[in-house]
Amino acid sequence: MAVPGTANAATAAPDTTRATTLGAQAAQSGRYFGTAVAAGKLGDATYSTILNREFNAVTPENEMKWDTIERFRGSFNFGPADQIVGQATSHGQRVRGHTLVWHSQLPSWVSSIADASTLRGVMNNHITTTMNHYKGKILAWDVVNEAFADGGSGQHRPSVFQNLLGNGFIEEAFRAARAADPSAKLCYNDYNIENWSDAKTQGVYRMVRDFKTRGVPIDCVGFQAHFGTSSPPASFQTTLSNFAALGVDVQITELDIAQAPTTAYANTVRACMNVSRCTGITVWGIRDSDSWRAGENPLLFDRGGNKKPAYQSVLTALGGTAAKSATSATSATSATKADALPSAFSWSSSGVLMSPKPDSTHNIAGLKDPSVVHYNGKYHVFASVASSSGYGLVYLSFTDWSQANSATHHYLDRGAIGTGYRAAPQVFYFAPQKTWYLVYQTGNASYSTNTDISNPNGWSAPRNFYSSMPDIIRQNIGNGYWVDMWVICDSADCYLFSSDDNGHLYRSQTTLAQFPNGFTNTVIAARDSNKYALFEASNVYQVQGGNQYLLMVEAIGSDGRRYFRSWTAASIAGSWTPLAASEGNPFARANNTTFPSGAWTKDISHGEMLRAGYDQTLTIPSCRLQYLYQGKDPAASGDYNTLPWRLGLLTQTNSTC
């Protein structure tokens, strides 16, 4: 029997829970944990299993370098990098772009250019063409890599760029990059700049300070962190915070440590965790055998793909201070900004990830209304199944989105939940009772409980939240339906939302201590005289790292297609301020979503955000949102209950952090 939240409860930060993978744990403080990836290894099952289980960001190890992307002048080869970006996107991983301008892995046709204006044109074209190709898909670009000399000079190293264009080449590259993709984060990346007093560190620091003073566009500095056994330098955290205080994010971009000592890894991770603007960590490869320094066994997994002791020390160290806990005025301001959601959104959608699996007693047409939590290393998805004979519930679990479509469908009508109208599930762990709740509609608002989310037979028989439909709903529902019940709690109270397909969102309230009993005081939380503009499928979430709540409501657009509008509020009880709330500026709609693997739907309909945790606070990250939704073949028509709904995943592409 799994009872989450007990073993570590005493040490966990109050608003977080312990995760079992590096990426999930890093995400709890708003950070990413990534790895360098080689396209040629994606077919290696051990490699890709670890990649997709542990990491939520990737850096192509060599595939975005000049000698691959533009080996011949003007002839661009994005194939290998596209393979990595495509895989990463389908697994919800972010991508660091590495690297646009570097003296190494540079084709000889560039290094042999002899005049400044040719080189300037070539450099600008390389930056612009590459960034255009990956527009909207890259978390941060290493615009210039390793431009500073080793040793005591603190000056730039010689290179064709330095020699022909002078000191200004770095600035020119950053300006070209900003012009190519104004929404991309632009980084300077280097090694041996982790020790604060080193001349090279000081040289890079002076450059970044100068750039910030003069308004040269730079957003972040990458510290490669290719470390020896006695590392990190004692001043590493100071270095990170000193750079951050200039107004840039900092990231650890290529971490590996000779012999992978547990303490060195833990101290390196802690240095990042203690700096609010340290937004993520990337290790330079997965297994020791994947490393460019394989002889030194510097990574977190051994050659067989087993976790090394350093893995555990990293996972533990990632459970530290939340990213928002800035102390200096500069970083406090930026952290507040990063924690707030943007006012416009863009998304990239997966293809169909899950489809109905009819069996001899379940003749299913549509898989709908998903609710999802990530717990104990797995995604747990609950969804409605629809057919001409009505609605039921199904449960499936998997470790990785690539396995979603092959996961077994457990029909919950086989257990105590029973047969009959059950739909639109919502799952969460109610920490005060150490119990999982599944909330769903039955005509009333109902729930079942279970101590083990992974046991589909463990759910209790349905119980109702209300003795009957509250009067205020009865008075306003018209010809609508009472649907889509949704529970969220703060530290004192729990709230139950529902919709009526008639332009009203309702909210009832009880105390945390009384839950699941005592829901009274039902009020209209939001209304619209056009019922299609405030139709159904509402989600309410707490945004991590700030006192902000997000409300999403599904609407039906003027094109007849489903989409989401959004509002924010400082408390669950409102009042709600429009965020992205129109057809022209929707929260999520076909017109702000790209479909790299084919536009399989025009509807972005009823679903669930991937949460940062799994408890009753329904906390979501403020960055790089992901939304599991239902969509369908645009050509499908006929009876609503037999429409071919399928599930897909949106990933936000315009995150500002």
The DSSP element (H or E) to which 526 belongs, if any, is strand 520-527
- Smallest distance, Å, CB 225 to ligand 9MR? 10
Interface pattern 589-628 for ligand 9MR (x via CB under 6 A): ----------------------------------------
The conformational region for residue 373 under phi > 0 = left, psi -120 to 50 = alpha, else beta, is beta
Using the minimum distance from each CB to ligand 9MR, give the nearer residue, 207 or 550: 207
Please say whether the beta carbons of 335 and 276 come within 8 A: yes
**DSSP for residue 42:** T
Q: Write down the least CB distance from residue 294 to ligand 9MR, Å.
A: 10
Smallest distance, ligand 9MR to C-beta of residue 104, A: 5
- Of 222, 322, 340, give the one whose Cα is nearest residue 625: 340
Site string for ligand 9MR, 281-320 (x = CB under 6 A): -----------x----------------------------
Give the side-chain half-sphere CA count within 13 A for 558. Answer: 5
Q: Is 296 a catalytic residue?
A: no
Closest approach, Cβ 41 to ligand 9MR, in A, equals 11
CB of 198 to ligand 9MR, least distance (A): 17
What's the Cα-to-Cα distance from 579 to each of 206, 270, 341, 358, 626, rounded to whole Å?
Answer: 39, 35, 9, 39, 17
- What residues between 188 and 207 interact with ligand 9MR by CB under 6 A? 191
Strands (E), 452-512: 463-464, 483-489, 493-499, 504-511
Nearer to ligand 9MR, 62 or 476 (CB): 62
Residue closer to ligand 9MR, measured from CB, 105 or 577:
105
What is the smallest separation between the CB atom of 91 and ligand 9MR, expressed in angstroms? 21
- Determine which residue in the list 104, 333, 530, 577 makes contact with ligand 9MR, applying CB under 6 A: 104
Residue 629 token pair: 């939704």
Looking at residue 179, what DSSP letter applies? H
Six-digit token string for 317: 């160290």
Q: From the list 224, 267, 548, 617, which residue makes contact with ligand 9MR (rule: CB under 6 A)?
A: 224
Query: 4: alpha, beta or left, given left = phi > 0 and alpha = psi -120 to 50?
Result: beta
Q: Is the peptide bond before 343 cis (omega within 30 degrees of 0)?
A: no
**Using rule CB under 6 A, residue 442 touches ligand 9MR:** no
d(CA 220, CA 215): 14
Helix (H) or strand (E) holding 222: strand 220-223
Of residues 236-255, those binding ligand 9MR (CB under 6 A): 254
* Closer Cβ to ligand 9MR, 289 or 656, answer by number: 289
Q: In the complex, what is the shortest distance from the CB of residue 145 to ligand 9MR, in angstroms, rounded to a whole number?
A: 6
Dist CA 364 CA 248 (whole Å) = 52
> For ligand 9MR, which residue has the nearest CB?
292
Q: Which residues contact 617 (CB under 8 A, 6 or more apart)?
A: 15, 488, 489, 490, 542
Structure tokens at 47: 């490699």
* Cβ-based nearer residue to ligand 9MR, 253 or 601: 253
Binding characters for ligand 9MR, 52-91, by CB under 6 A (x = yes) = ---------xx-----------------------------
Per CB under 6 A, the list member of 8, 105, 327, 577 interacting with ligand 9MR is 105
Binding to ligand 9MR in span 117-176, by CB under 6 A: 145
The catalytic position among 254, 536, 554, 608 is: 254
- For residue 154, the one-letter residue type is G
Question: What gap in Å lies between CA 283 and CA 290, rounded to an integer?
Answer: 11
Footprint on this chain of ligand 9MR (rule: CB under 6 A): 61-62, 104-105, 145, 191, 224, 254, 292
Active site positions, annotated:
254
